């Protein structure tokens, strides 16, 4: 799967509920779960701090985007969600540790798309720090921004796409293959989940306010 160009081609994106918790369990170093997050939602969050030296492991973010003023469910606007086959309004889930995922449901296939912000740490460096935890780890670029498509197990079921938007900010899209009903039989759609996650990531990214 590594290096496949279709990972950022077109396609709908969906996520089976429960994958969010599975990722969050490994997203933090030991002892951090449940602690206050400096980039969490709420008024009074500081602006993007002075940028440190670029991380040599991935391309620099040339045009930083500050997501601190956005609520998690603001990341994917209604029109973009509907274009991806999802319900127009996302549903804020209960935080697990510092992250606040927002789920966009597909009522027909009973599958979801999840997006959340990771703010106030080291941006895309967080996933590079955990690179050895993934069976598939593929650096990609989405709309000029550095990103990573990653899977804990090499298979066709689910994928996370991490997109760096500033030295201390990234957003994460989690996807799972769709289940769909045909003649009363539920099957698993044989499509690349990383392509689906990248489609949602692109839809989020091109609609983020740039401050221009």
Return the pLDDT at 192: 74
Min mean pLDDT across 60-74, 81-95, 148-162, 187-201 is at 187-201
Mean pLDDT for 53-74 is: 92
Report how far residue 129's alpha carbon sits from residue 170's, in angstroms, rounded to the nearest whole number.
Answer: 14
d(CA 163, CA 169): 9
> Does residue 46 carry a pLDDT above 70?
no
Please tell me the least confidently modeled range out of 22-26, 83-87, 112-116, 122-126.
Answer: 22-26
| Three-state SS sequence of the chain | CCCCHHHHCCCCCCECCCHHHHHHHHHCCCCCCCCCCCCCCCCCCCCCCCCCCCCCCCCCCCCCCCCCCCCHHHCCCHHHHHHCCCCCCCEECCCECCECCEEEEECCCCEEEEEEEEECCCCCHHHHHCHHHCCEEEEEEECCEEEEEEECCCCCCEEEEEEEEECCEEEEEEEECCEEEECCEEEECCCCHHHHHHHHHHHHHCCCCCCC
Long-range contacts made by residues 89-94, C-beta under 8 angstroms, separation at least 24? 90/115, 93/20
141: pLDDT strictly greater than 70 = yes
As a whole number of angstroms, the distance between CA 177 and CA 12 comes to 9
Q: Choose among 83, 45, 71, 37: nearest CA to 209.
A: 71
Poorest-pLDDT segment among 24-33, 106-115, 132-141, 163-172:
24-33
CA dist., res. 100 & res. 102, Å (int): 7
Q: Given 3.30.450, 3.90.930, 2.40.128, 3.40.1000, which CATH number is that of 7-26+62-182+191-205?
A: 3.40.1000
Residue of higher predicted confidence among 136 and 32: 136
User: If you average pLDDT over every residue of the chain, what do you get?
Assistant: 75
Greater model confidence, 197 or 51: 197
**Cα(57)–Cα(71) distance, rounded to whole angstroms?**
29
């Amino acid at each position: 799967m590594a290096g496949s160009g279709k990972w950022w081609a077109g396609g709908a994106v969906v996520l089976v509920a429960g994958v969010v918790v599975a990722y969050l369990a490994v997203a933090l170093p030991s002892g951090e779960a449940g602690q206050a997050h400096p980039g969490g939602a709420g008024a009074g969050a500081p602006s993007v701090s002075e940028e440190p030296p670029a991380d040599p492991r991935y391309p620099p973010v040339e045009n930083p985007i500050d997501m601190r003023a956005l609520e998690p469910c603001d990341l994917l606007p209604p029109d973009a969600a509907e274009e991806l086959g999802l319900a127009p309004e996302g549903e804020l889930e209960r935080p697990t540790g510092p992250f606040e995922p927002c789920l966009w449901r597909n009522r027909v296939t009973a599958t979801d798309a999840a997006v959340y912000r990771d703010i106030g740490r080291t941006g895309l460096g967080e996933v590079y720090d955990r690179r050895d935890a993934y069976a598939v780890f593929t650096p990609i670029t989405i709309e000029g921004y550095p990103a990573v498509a990653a899977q804990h197990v090499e298979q066709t079921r689910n994928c996370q796409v991490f997109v760096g938007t500033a030295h201390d900010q990234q957003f994460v899209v989690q996807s799972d293959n769709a289940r769909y009903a045909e003649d009363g039989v539920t099957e698993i759609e044989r499509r690349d989940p990383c392509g689906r996650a990248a489609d949602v990531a692109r839809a989020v990214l091109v609609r983020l306010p740039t401050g221009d």
